[in-house]
Structure 1
């Protein structure tokens, strides 16, 4: 993973911005000096803007009613004329509604205060009759108004939009002015609901496991480290959900899942974030094929929540309704290198083939690592349609069990869609003796300085010694699922991603 490039500071305010802030602060002071509230505890809102639109959308142009409503929202447009002022209010998901203030309805003092005190971005409350303007615009004709919250900073405007960097850094402003940002929040929520609902419909039970852990395990990744004062104990933030969920299966919770935040102290790029959301699910008496069926059902449910099972990508259309191919790792690498590659292929030969294809590698790597590098560089980027890359060499996944027909392989797959890994699953290793041997080998790597190697977790091994049933396990990066459906980078799918501190 690449290291995050130097991040520029958020856009510095220009002189006009600073002038506007000074004016707005003066208006706030004026409100307070006149005995009015700039930030009242509550306003007498009776209807949302959406409810007004839904309840009175039948009005014809010029039609008026005696129906009085109290509405509130952020001022996104304002036009102040002599005796009649117009404003557009916005709420929540971007629903907008026009309000009108006339001299005849609100009186001279209230109209003058509106012109004098209200700016774009302010939250205001308006009470009045529901009407349709002469141009057919559904509106509230105000009989009174009050400030609901005075904005001290000007909103980004069309001629000076937020840069991509500032959109991420100032997501609150991005959400105010850009419908696409609000749509992303709702798309993420819809996909998360669909994933959770699908699991619950298949009788999986959702549980929560600790974020703070004594020993990091369940994946090969560098952890974040912290310290618990109460126990005088160094701790890590979890890098996976796996081990505690497996303990629950040992205890009899036979179909279990967790949607949780994961923390990995690694590089940042368009597909990696140090904090992200992972789904892991485990099923007693399941295996990699059980998990493949579950994975497909999760993706189809998410697609239905978004609205289409065909996804446009720069490389072409992904058809989730089509065939989900199974491709053995050594078959895929053999096709890419145009030579049969097996678990017995010498590392020297692999180095020669990778050099010929200009694939970079560490000369110290063994054959299995070289095969995985060839897979990553030459095979995965070519896989547009959903593909289960399966039959990995053992070093790829220390927690997967050996293949039932070929001891040189493990029962594990990675799901590749549009050239990117989207999920993984194993037939889980449940033999406590073999698992101890694997984790001891990992702990030796950790002791030798490998920051991503797993540590020996005696409590996990003790749980397995009580007898773990045959088990299938699945992991799905929720952010990468959302990235595929939206075409966005990971920073866009995470509402408040981690960024370098702003330069001051």
Structure 2
């Protein structure tokens, strides 16, 4: 006996026995196909399909899905069939589904005794309404399409001594739901709606950019030099080239190369990878869209961003207002624009503008913000902002005009010494987008990256590396450009009222079981 057989539960053993009985009856428990013509949602919405005394010539429907519950009543039964669009009731009667091969055994032995909740079946028949007014399919043909040999969790409602309804065996454990998303999608169908809404959100964004003529492109995931963000990379090794490669932390530098090459607008929905901790806002593998548009600046990009996210809210919710937890968030443009130092001073009473590294360290200590010897001025400012400001920004807000030290790829501010033309869009207490007037001066860019290299040598392992090919590309001339990265996962959390990034990822990263 195999190790797997020894570990089978009683229910799993019973289902395997049923599998053998089906095969003995000549029933293929895993046939090759079934022609589906209708979905549950379409049937429930189409009154013309309902057969009654006045409408006796309706079309036959063919649906497929899982058996989700059964009510056996002798020679006839009801069960609910769940497909990709929802659930619909099915009425099945012994004599109606008898076949030449099995006769009434198809109902008596197969349906009643060998079919379980979770099995995938196909039904052909006509639609009618029961006496209670429920739209139902009257089965004229029944097919087993996939026999499940592992029972799915089925919640049971029981009334306790106080007359309260208590639910047992519901598939509610968060960790199990994330690990076994396939089960989660079966027994918690509202989860499917979350991911449909995420896809709809991405489609709205794609449509907005396509309508403006921007080109969707693909850039390398495996990169010889990682760049475009301050983050730790994942490293791998290419055997044929005998060289280390990095999973990209951003696609910025490659998209800018395409602007150099002559495109006026390029974007990419990209999987990016950062070797960082896990939290309800962080997954090491995440999705963002990056967009770069020639001859524009960060002021233009703010207007573009707020209008696109306003459109997403309307398309998904029919309103600019979205309920997220206890907050009603309004995406109606225009959004507030608040300079970074002004936002920090408002919450801390400290003016950080123009302060040197030692002064910033002293202020951080006074504010009880933990820092490290490797931190530069920009990182200290970022820590203070994260501690005192970011979490309080619930309504969509543009935080603008960052210090030069925090933004090595950004053009210097045209009016404010020591600052750059950068904004972050903050919503529900977290950054959802980061954007610049892009630095296109190759001399300045080299100096900035060399400073990053010095920070890296000093112990900041998130500082950027020097990409000589990117610098060479800039030397061929990049037009004035606005760029942005929008976090798809975090935006999806807001648009679907989800508490954790894992709720909007089909397969989030988990520790081994």
TM-score by length of 2: 0.90
Matched, 1:106 2:97: yes
Matched, 1:303 2:322: no
Give the alignment partner of residue 77 of structure 1, picking from 69, 76, 84. 69
Q: Distance in 2 between matches of 1:466 and 1:295?
A: 29
Matched, 1:379 2:389: yes
**For 2:45, what is the secondary structure of its paired residue?**
helix
Give the alignment partner of residue 128 of structure 1, picking from 125, 130, 152. 125
Partner of 1:160: 169
Contact 2:374 2:459 in 1 (8 A): no
In 2 relative to 1, CA 198–151 (structure 1 residues): closer, same or farther, beyond 3 Å?
same
Matched, 1:30 2:27: no
Q: Answer with 63-72 or 266-275: which moved more.
A: 63-72
Partner of 1:258: 268
**For 2:63, what is the secondary structure of its paired residue?**
strand
**For 1:269, what is the secondary structure of its paired residue?**
coil
Contact 2:396 2:427 in 1 (8 A): yes
Displacement of 1:149: 0.5
Pairs within 5 Å for 1:205-244: 205-244=215-254
Partner of 2:441: 431
Contact 1:218 1:240 in 2 (8 A): yes
Q: Deviation digits for residues 39-59 of structure 1, max 9, x if unmatched?
A: 100124333333333334674
Q: Answer with 365-374 or 375-384: which moved more.
A: 365-374
Q: Deviation digits for residues 266-307 of structure 1, max 9, x if unmatched?
A: 111010110111111011111111111121122112112211
In 2 relative to 1, CA 367–233 (structure 1 residues): closer, same or farther, beyond 3 Å?
closer
Contact 2:51 2:127 in 1 (8 A): no
Q: Distance in 1 between matches of 2:451 and 2:66?
A: 60
Q: Distance in 1 between matches of 2:191 and 2:368?
A: 40
Pairs within 5 Å for 1:275-424: 275-307=285-317, 308-314=319-325, 316-321=327-332, 323-343=334-354, 345-362=355-372, 365-424=375-434
Q: Distance in 2 between matches of 1:43 and 1:129?
A: 17
Partner of 2:486: 476
Displacement of 1:449: 4.6
Contact 1:64 1:132 in 2 (8 A): no
Displacement of 1:323: 4.3
**For 1:225, what is the secondary structure of its paired residue?**
strand
Give the alignment partner of residue 510 of structure 2, picking from 484, 499, 502. 499
Contact 2:34 2:122 in 1 (8 A): yes
Partner of 2:163: none
Q: Deviation digits for residues 416-474 of structure 1, max 9, x if unmatched?
A: 11221110111111111111121222234334553322221111111111111111111
Q: Answer with 115-124 or 484-493: which moved more.
A: 484-493
Partner of 2:101: none
Partner of 2:278: 268
Q: Distance in 2 between matches of 1:296 and 1:266?
A: 29
Q: Answer with 368-377 or 69-78: which moved more.
A: 368-377
Q: Answer with 295-304 or 169-178: which moved more.
A: 295-304
Partner of 1:3: none
**For 1:134, what is the secondary structure of its paired residue?**
coil
Q: Distance in 1 between matches of 2:22 and 2:55?
A: 33
Displacement of 1:357: 3.3
Q: Distance in 2 between matches of 1:367 and 1:240?
A: 23
In 2 relative to 1, CA 449–71 (structure 1 residues): closer, same or farther, beyond 3 Å?
same
Pairs within 5 Å for 1:8-87: 18-56=9-47, 59=50, 65=56, 67-87=59-79
Matched, 1:147 2:144: yes
Q: Distance in 1 between matches of 2:234 and 2:404?
A: 27
Q: Deviation digits for residues 221-247 of structure 1, max 9, x if unmatched?
A: 101111122222211110001011000
Q: What's the C-alpha RMSD, in Å, of the aligned pairs? A: 2.3
In 2 relative to 1, CA 468–437 (structure 1 residues): closer, same or farther, beyond 3 Å?
same
Where in structure 1 are there 5+ consecutive unaligned residues?
1-14
**For 1:197, what is the secondary structure of its paired residue?**
helix
Displacement of 1:349: 4.4
Where in structure 2 are there 5+ consecutive unaligned residues?
1-5, 99-103, 156-167
